[in-house]
Amino acid sequence: MPGGTIKIKGRGLTVNRVDVPEKIMKWIEEYLLDPAESTCVDICFEYLNSYSSTILVTIIKKISTVLLKGKKLIINWHYEDDDDDVYERGEYISSSISIPFNFIKIT
CATH number of the domain at 99, please.
Answer: 3.30.750
Q: Give all strands (DSSP E) within the chain, no chain letters.
A: 5-12, 38-48, 72-80, 102-106
CA distances in angstroms from 82 to 52, 62, 93, 98, 105, listed in the order given? 21, 30, 19, 25, 9
Residue 54: predicted pLDDT: 87
**Whole-number Å distance between alpha carbons of 5 and 81:** 24
pLDDT of residue 89: 93
11-55 pLDDT, tens per residue? 776 656 666 678 888 999 999 999 999 999 999 998 888 888 888
Q: How confident is the model at residue 1 (pLDDT cuts 50, 70, 90)?
A: very low
pTM of the model: 0.87
Q: Which domain range does residue 49 map to?
A: 2-106
Number of domains in the chain: 1
Express each pLDDT in 44-80 by its tens digit.
998 888 888 888 999 999 999 999 999 999 999 999 9
